[in-house]
Amino acid sequence: MISKMYYELVRLLHFAAIFTFAGALVIENMAIKPQITGEDTRNLAKVDAVSGVSAIFVLIFGLALWLWVGKPSEFYSSNPIFHAKLGLFTLMVVFAYRSHDIL
């Protein structure tokens, strides 16, 4: 019963982190321009920080769903689509890191 509650809670938190992350990315893409000034730059930096922190939460709660709560980890470990998802997530992190290097 308790473990089912943890599972549902972590699912919810994974989902909430995903929506925060996606929302922050949409705002960043709408707000970014070749030249931005003062307050816009500071606001963009804040939204960027939100996107970074929420990506970390997506990872933490994702790892929890995979390894600690819910179905046995083999359920996901043996699923090629899950590996594709991890690959895409890694690619996203690499591209995000590179784009910050350029800035």
Q: Residue 89, interface with ligand HEM (CB under 6 A)?
A: yes
CB of 87 to ligand HEM, least distance (A): 10
- 69: contact with ligand HEM by CB under 6 A: no
Task: Please select the residue that binds ligand HEM; options are 25, 51, 54, 62, rule is CB under 6 A.
Answer: 62
> What are all long-range contacts of 63-72, with beta carbons under 8 Å and residues at least 24 apart?
64/10, 64/14, 65/7, 65/10, 65/11, 65/14, 69/3, 69/6, 69/7, 69/10, 70/7, 70/10, 70/11
Give me the least distance between CB of 39 and ligand HEM, in Å please.
29
Q: How far apart are CA 78 and CA 84, in angstroms?
A: 12
Instruction: Report which residue's Cβ sits closest to ligand HEM.
Output: 62
Question: Segment 2-61, which members bind ligand HEM (CB under 6 A)?
Answer: 11, 14-15, 18, 58-59
